[in-house]
Each structure stands twice: as C-alpha cells, then as structure tokens.
Structure 1
Amino acid sequence: MKKLVILGAGTAGTMMASHLIKKLKKSDWEITIVDQYKTHYYQPGFLFLPFDTYKPEDVKKSIDEFIPKGVKLIREKIDFIDKDSDTVVLENGTKLTYDILILATGTKTAPGEVQGMLGDYWYKTIFDFYTFEGALALRDKLRDWKGGKLVIHITEMPIKCPVAPLEFAFLADTFFINKGIRDKVDITYVTPLSGAFTKEKCTTALTYLLKDKNIKIVPDFAVEHIDGENGKIVDYGGEEVPFDLLVTIPTNMGDDLMSRSGIGDDMNYVPTDKNTLQTKVKENIFALGDCTNVPASKAGSVAHFQAEILTENILLYIEGKELKPDFDGHANCFIETGHGKALLIDFNYEYEPVSGKFPFAGIGPLNLLTESRLNHWGKLAFRWVYWNMLLPARKLPFITPKMSKAGKNFD
C-alpha cells in the first residue's frame, strides 16, 4: 500500500485530507495527517474577538471533528523532513515514510523578530490579534481602555490575510463611536507599504475610507525597534510614531520545521511552483496554503481554491501525467469597513480587484469594491461555510477555483 502524508491539520491540510479521501482508493493508499495541536481555530474570527462580536467558542473546535473517516491522525510534533529518504521524523522518534508528501504547515507570528516587541509591555500596551491569545488579551484591554493614541502597525509583508489590519482599523473606529469615546481616540495606521492596500487599484479606489473615518496613515515605515517604555515605534530612518496602545502585526514566518529540514527560504516558506503547487524541493512533495512562497494572498479562500486544483494534480502525478498549471492566484475576501458594512474583492495573479458583480454577471447579488450590508452579512455567514463546507471539502456552488471574468469591469 502506498502512503500519502499531510503535514498540518489546519485549513489547507484538513481540506486536502477531505478531498483526497474521496478520490484515492482506500485499498491502494493510506492517508496520514500529522499535527501536534488539539484545537482547530477559525482564524478570520480573531478579527472580531477584540470587539466582543464573537465569543471564544465561536472560533475554535476540536481538530478531531474535521479529520475525515479513513484518514489517520497522528498528534505529534514534527522534528524534520528527510527528503532524500522520503521520510518524516517525529519528535518522539517515529519515522513516517511516504510516497507523496503534502506540506500545509501554515505561517506563524514571530514577535521576537523586532527588538522591543516582546517583553515587559507585551499584552499590556502592545498587542497582536493574529493569535487566539492575543485577540483575547486585546479584548480585555479594549473593554476598559479610556482612549489615547491607537496605532495599528504592520511589521513587514507577507502576512496572513493582508486586509485584516485595515479591517481592524475600521472596526475600531466603529467600536469607539459606539462607546462614545471616538473623539478621545487618535487612530494611526502604520504600514511598510506605500499605500493602505496591497493592491494599487484598491489603494486608489478606497483611500476615502481612511479619510472619512479620520484615520491617519503612515506609509513606507520599516520598523527598527519598539520603545515600550516611552510608547513609540521607530523606523530605520529615525521616524517615530507615538502610541498609548499599539496593535501590531508581527513578522509572519513559515514553520521552523522547514529550516530544520533545509527546504525553506530565509522566511521558512517553501519554494513552490505558483501554478501547479508542486514544490521545487522534490517532485513528490507538494505544498499549499500559507506555508508556500507563491505570490498569492495568505488567506483561507486561497487555500480553498488551491486545494481543489492540487487534488487534481495529485491524481495526475499518481498517473504519471503532466501537471496542470491551473492555479491563477485566485483570491476573494470580504473587507469589513465598519458600521455593519463590508467590501468584497476578487482578484488573481493577473488582475487586481475590480468592480462588478459576484458571483453572477449582471445579477450579483454581491457587489465588488462597493460597501454594502449584504457584503457584511456575507462575511459573518462565511464562518458557517468554513466549518460546514470548506473543511469537509464540499463544493461551493457557483464559485470556481480559477477567477471568473464574468460580471467584472476590467476597464
């Protein structure tokens, strides 16, 4: 019997297990998924935890609940991958051989990469919301915070869900308005990018959101260190931004496993063909989701589209056929803009987000690059879709892995 091993039981790994158990003959293939953790987090929900929109139980479930029947789960930390002998070595000494290896180990925050981020002020005046613990600590802080200088800061790109920091700024604006203290809060958005959004057209089209909400933007800021004692972040050129409360997105890095195995880049991301999702490490090793270096957004929707395409390529690889370069970088996501409204963007490697209708041309019912309450409800509804359709690899109707041009304005 041949062996397929998946490393990581997060969004990407769980979807791949769900897809492949339906496609591979159980008599021919044994599928094993390895993950050291017990809890599966709905990470988009971390954005809502600080504002008490979601409760902790809304964003976490047991990993075991989503591992499909017929897939073996090993709960153990991975020591390293020996690509030459097609073996995964676990921390307890167990060796797993494989015929095909799928990497889905995600990305993690690394606050220790910036001097002064971790330390005496961590979770006191300096917070993150990209972790479950950080989001809850920030929630507790915001419940009693009386106002001052709030700085939302991105350390460097790439990061998971590139629009989440902006969403946090917009939701914070609404949160403080509802508390009646918006006039006591100065919000500044600090980014290493030259504009608010990662895509130029988005920045041009949507900068009004920052102006309308009186959110100051400080672009091109490369943080050198954080001075928690004096409440300021300092960039390499000496520019300083003062804060009373800093909400930072630390450096995001791939799993240390890649460094130990000698297969990652300097950020521990896995070199991967951006269209086939076959790694450049070895032909029988594939990767998807946040652990790769492909120039697509690190977001759940991307992992969802990648999983559908990679499943087909795994089947082609098994049959000895040429892989299809079908992943086009497709991503779509809702962007919360506050006051019960949201935007929807849809884009890929070739096309930046454009206006139009989604998913049906001329009908919608969702509008692209336009604020609406329907988009906001779509964002909230996605949590149900995630637990009940994405993880079990059920087909989402009318949404294709490759970006559709129907109903979009490309002028």
Structure 2
Amino acid sequence: MRRLVVLGAGTAGTMVVNRLRPRLPRHEWQVTVVEQSDTLHYQPGYLFLPFGSIRPKDVTKPVRATVRPGVDLVHGTIDRVDRDRRTVLLEGGRELPYDYLVVATGTSPRPAETPGLEEALAGGDVHEFFTYSGALRLAARLADWRGGRLVVHVAEMPIKCPVAPLEFAFLADAFFREHGLRDDVDLTYATPLPGAFTKPVSAERLGAMLTERRIALEPDFVVESVDGEAHVLRSFDDREIPYDLLVTIPVNMGADFVARSGLGDELNYVRVDKQTLLSVDDDRIFAVGDAANTPASKAGSVAHFQVDGFTENFLAHVEGRPMTDLFDGHANCFIESGAGKALLIDFNYETEPLPGTYPLPKVGPMRLLRESRGNHLGKLAFRHLYWHVLLPGRRMPVPAHMSMAGKEVPGSGASPVGTTPVAAAATPTPVGIAPSFGED
C-alpha cells in the first residue's frame, strides 16, 4: 500500500485529494489529508464581510463535508516533516509515514513582522480583513465610524490576493457614498509597489480609477513601523502617514513547519519548480497553491489552474513517466470596483493583464480591464462554483493554460486576437509581486 499525505485542507489541498482519490486505486493507495481546523473558509468572502454584503454563515463549511469519502481526515497541528524517514510529525507525537507528500498549507498574515503592528491591532483603530475574525471585527467598526482619514495599507508583497486591498479601497469609497459620508472620509491607498498595481497596463487603469474616486495613492511606501498611539505609519525613507482608521494587510508568510523541515525560502514558501510544482529539494514532495514559491499569484484561481495539470503530472511522476502538463502561471481575477461593477484580469508568468474579452474573442461575455455589471455578477456567482464545482474536484469550463484569445495587445494596432503567440505580449512578472485572482 502506497501512502499519499496532503498537508492542509484549504482550497488547494481539498482539490488535490478530491481529484486524486478517484484516480488512485483504493487497494493500492491510502490518501490522507491533515488539517488543524474543523472549518473551511471561503476566503474571498472576507472582502465583503466588513460592508455587510455577505453573511458570515456563507463563508464557512465543515472540512469533513468538503472532502471525498475514502480520504482519511486527520485533525492536528504539523510540527515538521522528517524527509529522511518520509514521515510527518504532528504536535503531540503522532507520526504519519508517506511515500509522496503534497504541501498545501497556504499563507497567513504575520503582524509581528512589522514593529508596532501587533500591538496596534489590539486597539480600536487598526484592523485587517485577511482573517475571518478580523473581517468581522472590522465590520463592527465600520458600522459606527463617522469619518476621518482612512488608510488602506499593504505592508509587503507577496500577499494572498494582491488585488484585495485595492478592492477594499474601491468598496469603501462606494460604502461611504451610499451612507452619505464620503465627503467626511479622506481615503489613502499606501503600497510598497511603484504604482497601483504591478504591471504598466493594469497599473495605469487602476491608478486612474483611484484618482476618479478621490483615493490618494502613496506608492513605494515600505513600512518601517506602526505607531498605534500617535496613529502614524512610518516608512524606511522617513515618510509618515497619519490615520484615524487603518486597514492594513500585514506581511504574509507560509507555515513555520516548512522552515523547520528545510523546505522553504525566507518567507516559508516551499521551493518548487514553477512548472511542475515538484520540490527542488525532494522528488517525493510537491507544493500547490499559496504554499509554493512560484512567481505566480497566491490566489484561488492559481490553485485551480495548478491542480488541473498537477493531477496528471502526479500520476505520471509516481509511475516514473515525465511530467508534461506544465503550469504557466495562469491566474485571473474579478476586481470589485463598487456600485455593482467589477473588472476582470487574466494573465500568466509571461503575459501581463491586457484589455479585451474573456474567455471568447469579442463575445466574452466578461470584459478585461473594464468595469461591467457582468463581471460583478461573475464574482458573486463564483461562491457557488467554489463550493459545488471547484472543491469537489469537478472541472471548470475554462482552460487551465492562459490563452491570448480575445486579448488586445497595446501598441500592436490590432483588434482582439485569437491565436497571437503569448510571447507577443511578454512582460515577465517579478517574483513575489504577481497580481492575483480575487478568489483565494
């Protein structure tokens, strides 16, 4: 009996076990997933919780209900991986031997990495929405906040869903307009990036949207500390941003056991080949989703597109065959912009987000880098697809590899393309700051 152990029953880990269990004969393979929580969260819902546009019960389900029969679910906290013995050690002393291991433990906010931030979060004027409890706490604060200077701040890249802070700024603008408070709110968006986003075409469009909404942009702001008493953000180049209410996205890092196991980079992300997701340190270990150090976004669409190819690659690898379904960094993202509209971006390792239509040329129905009601409805519909299509391991009706169909290449003088080579729009994405899908 061969043993597959998957660490983490979040989006990526659940899709992996639900895809592989039917493909691995039960008399030959034992499939185990390890998860410390009893509850799986639909994390894109965290963005909407502070504004009261989604119910808390809509973003949670029991982990057991999302995992296929035939998968052993082990609740526990991972201490480390002993690669020499091919064993996972849990806190409390339990050991789980494996023949193949998949790390899918994601990423999480680490406020302690920024001096003063952890202490400031304990007060009433500094908040985050990257955790379930944080999003609910922020909802309570916004419900009775009557105005002042609101700063939306990103501590460092990479983060889970890099567009989420921008979405929050747009939704905050719409929220205060709806409640007749917009003239009483001074909105600022502070980012370590040189602009509103990571790539020139999308950065120009999203930056213009900030300007249209009277949201000040503070670029290249690399935070040094947060002074909760003085209500001030301080950067390493001695700039200061005062705030009355701070909504921050702390430094994000992978699980600590990754470092203890000698598998991770400086942020505890597993070092992998960016196309096969196989560990560069151990050919019995893979990492998928946010846990991997691929130069792709840390987001749900990336996990989805990765797992599409990973299933066949895993089966080939355990049989000693070459892995041929190479992940291209594909991601797409609905970006909520407020007032019932959203944008969509679609990109990969080599191609930046471009205007056009998705998934079909001219027909769409989604619009790329352009606000539309249809894009907003698409984002809302994704919650149903997440619970009932993606997690159970069913295939989505979109290709896992990015297509240039429908995309417009700026400066080419061409209408939307159908078969233009990806290289025609090649703009390599720096490691760690790739843009992201909103469904992580």
Asked if these proteins are the same fold (TM beyond 0.5), I'd say yes
| 1:383-394 equivalences in 2 (<5 Å) | 383-394=383-394
Deviations 1:233-291 (A, max 9, x none): 00011100000000000000000111221211111111111001101120010011001
**Alignment-derived partner of residue 164 in structure 1:** 164
**Alignment-derived partner of residue 406 in structure 2:** 407
How far is 1:145 from its partner?
Answer: 0.1
**Alignment-derived partner of residue 291 in structure 1:** 291
- State whether residues 79 and 90 of structure 2, in contact with CA within 8 Å, keep that contact through their aligned partners in structure 1: yes
Percent of counterpart pairs with the same letter? Answer: 53
**Alignment-derived partner of residue 184 in structure 1:** 184
List runs of 5+ in structure 1 lacking aligned partners: none
| 1:4-403 equivalences in 2 (<5 Å) | 4-119=4-119, 121-324=121-324, 326-397=326-397, 399-403=398-402
Cα distance in structure 1, aligned partners of 2:297 and 2:30: 31
How far is 1:325 from its partner?
Answer: 5.4
Deviations 1:318-347 (A, max 9, x none): 110111251000000100011110000000
How far is 1:204 from its partner?
Answer: 1.7
Partner amino acid for 1:9? Answer: A
- State whether residues 123 and 138 of structure 1, in contact with CA within 8 Å, keep that contact through their aligned partners in structure 2: no
Partner amino acid for 1:221? Answer: F
How far is 1:121 from its partner?
Answer: 4.9
**Alignment-derived partner of residue 431 in structure 2:** none
- State whether residues 277 and 287 of structure 2, in contact with CA within 8 Å, keep that contact through their aligned partners in structure 1: yes
Over 3 Å counting, the alpha-carbon distance change for 1:72 and 1:194 in structure 2 is: same
- State whether residues 123 and 134 of structure 1, in contact with CA within 8 Å, keep that contact through their aligned partners in structure 2: no
Partner amino acid for 1:84? Answer: D
Cα distance in structure 1, aligned partners of 2:267 and 2:120: 26
User: 1:118 aligns to what SS in structure 2?
Assistant: helix
Task: Report the number of matched residues.
Answer: 410
How far is 1:123 from its partner?
Answer: 4.8
Cα distance in structure 1, aligned partners of 2:83 and 2:17: 21
User: 2:150 aligns to what SS in structure 1?
Assistant: strand
- State whether residues 155 and 251 of structure 2, in contact with CA within 8 Å, keep that contact through their aligned partners in structure 1: yes
User: 2:358 aligns to what SS in structure 1?
Assistant: strand
Cα distance in structure 2, aligned partners of 1:19 and 1:404: 24
How far is 1:207 from its partner?
Answer: 1.7
How far is 1:120 from its partner?
Answer: 5.2
- State whether residues 45 and 59 of structure 2, in contact with CA within 8 Å, keep that contact through their aligned partners in structure 1: yes
- Give 4+ residue runs of structure 1 displaced > 4 Å after superposition: none
- State whether residues 195 and 219 of structure 1, in contact with CA within 8 Å, keep that contact through their aligned partners in structure 2: yes
Partner amino acid for 1:56? Answer: P
Cα distance in structure 1, aligned partners of 2:201 and 2:25: 46
Partner amino acid for 1:156? Answer: E
- State whether residues 120 and 227 of structure 2, in contact with CA within 8 Å, keep that contact through their aligned partners in structure 1: no
Deviations 1:105-154 (A, max 9, x none): 00010001111111155351110000001100000000000100000000
- State whether residues 256 and 268 of structure 1, in contact with CA within 8 Å, keep that contact through their aligned partners in structure 2: yes
Deviations 1:21-43 (A, max 9, x none): 12111111110000111010000
Deviations 1:33-71 (A, max 9, x none): 001110100000000000000111011111111110100
Partner amino acid for 2:288? Answer: L
Over 3 Å counting, the alpha-carbon distance change for 1:322 and 1:377 in structure 2 is: same
Q: CA RMSD in A?
A: 0.9
Cα distance in structure 1, aligned partners of 2:206 and 2:149: 24
Over 3 Å counting, the alpha-carbon distance change for 1:121 and 1:44 in structure 2 is: closer
Cα distance in structure 1, aligned partners of 2:231 and 2:358: 44
Partner amino acid for 2:91? Answer: E
Cα distance in structure 2, aligned partners of 1:122 and 1:153: 17
Give the stretch that moved more between structures: 355-364 or 300-309.
355-364
